[in-house]
Chains A and B, each alone.
Chain A
């Protein structure tokens, strides 16, 4: 257990901070994914063929291409893209983007594609009568969405969103290739310097299991909360 001690002698504190980093990246990515879902779900449900096409391309491409390839695109292409935009505004110095932002954005786009599908499915399975009732009551579009559509969507979406969360959480391990010090990267560093990869990678596996286990427990409570009245 000495190897996991906190302080200079062990890897305990490093791994602890790495775990916090994994949680932070996962939550940020999940949140970015929600923002993407907020844009693309209406496009998917829209009657306009062109908007449908855009949204379908997004979800099909992201769900059909390996996560690692998307991360490489952002890792190698992100700096170039930002510098290109900056050069339009006349800024020509080298810009380095933070690994956290690149990683969270790459995973967020992936997570967003899955979330979009979940929200689409949830909204489509809401009973038609609910929309009609809202119209009859004369609710405007905004109130209809906030008061009628959103609460029911959340109830139906939470079980599937918990799957998306699991995928997102596990995908963050791939950001380690960009050098962000999360669980996987920290285990890689520790394994390299102690020459004990078996222990550190197994410990990383335990940390991930712990994260998935605890988050499942929390999501289950959320599920119960949103299912009140059913």
Chain B
């Protein structure tokens, strides 16, 4: 055990953890909107619209996240047309490519979580709203969404933790996140176990915090 290396690498890994958290929070926020959008499409009565939303979630859940990042980072740059548009400003940055891939990926999982939450809402609640003369829009925002959020909290908590682990793939497109820095230190010092303990410890700490925040929210919003 090289304790000195563990102590020395700790601040470096901790500052890299900030990048991991940044990647995670930005993708989760964008992913939540994507997920909500596709969940609404999924419960649409039009079969083409709901099939389209199903196809989206099937493709993104059925392929590895690594493939998705590589398609966006290496693949999209190949399209000449894209290079001439404003989008290229975003797509040439590995950071934004990773964010796009993560958001689309977590969006697919989130849409499944929200869809099942929407479907478990008792029809009676919606009927009660209708009989009170509340408009459909208000029913959706004031009745369906709050219940769906409560229903999907446990599953969404798991998704946040899975996504946090997923952000480690950003290191494959040159981003120095927690895993990226850990790999760099391992490959320069050849002390994998020490670095794994420190980096893994930081990841576990983040998992622990997320887990408890979600548990707290579940308690707060339970009825």
Contacts and interface: CB of A to CB of B under 8 A. Distances in A.
A173 B204 contact: no
B161 A64 contact: yes
B192 A170 contact: no
Interface of B: 58-59, 62-68, 70-71, 74-76, 78-79, 161, 164-169, 171-172, 179, 182-183, 186-187, 190, 192-193, 196, 199-200, 203-204, 207-208
Interface of A: 60-61, 63-69, 72-73, 75-77, 80, 166, 170-171, 173-174, 176-177, 184, 187-188, 191, 195-199, 201-202, 204-205, 208-209, 212-213
6 contacts: A64-B208, A67-B168, A80-B192, A202-B75, A205-B63, A205-B68
Given A76-B186, A77-B196, A171 B204 contact: no
A184 B62 contact: no
A208 B64 contact: yes
In this complex, the member of B62, B64, B74, B164 whose beta carbon has the largest number of chain A beta carbons within 10 angstroms is B64
B74 A205 contact: no
A23 B3 CA distance: 40
A65 B203 contact: yes
Contacts of B200: 61, 64-65, 69
A76 B203 contact: no
Nearest to B79: A198
A198 B179 contact: no
Nearest to A172: B64
Query: Taking each of A69, A166, A191, A209, which has the highest tally of chain B beta carbons within 10 Å of its own beta carbon?
Result: A69
Nearest to B204: A64
Contacts of B78: 195-198
Main secondary structure of the interface of A (DSSP, over half): helix
B76 to A, nearest CB: 7
Nearest to B70: A201
Contacts of B208: 64
A108 to B, nearest CB: 17
A177 B71 CA distance: 16
Contact of A201 (B62, B74, B172, B199): B74
B66 A209 contact: no
A202 to B, nearest CB: 6
Given A76-B190, A76-B192, A66 B74 contact: no
The 5 A-B residue pairs with the shortest CB-CB distance in the complex, in nearest-first order: A66-B168, A198-B75, A77-B192, A173-B64, A64-B207
A220 to B, nearest CB: 15
A15 to B, nearest CB: 13
Contacts of A176: 66
A201 B204 contact: no
Contacts of B70: 184, 187-188, 197, 201, 204
Given A173-B67, A208-B62, A213-B62, 12 more contacts: A61-B200, A66-B166, A66-B168, A67-B168, A69-B179, A69-B203, A166-B62, A173-B66, A195-B78, A197-B70, A202-B71, A209-B63
A174 B66 CA distance: 7
Given A76-B187, A197-B75, A60 B204 contact: yes
A188 B186 CA distance: 24
A174 to B, nearest CB: 6
Given A197-B74, A205-B59, A64 B169 contact: no
A184 B65 CA distance: 11
B69 to A, nearest CB: 9
A176 B204 CA distance: 25
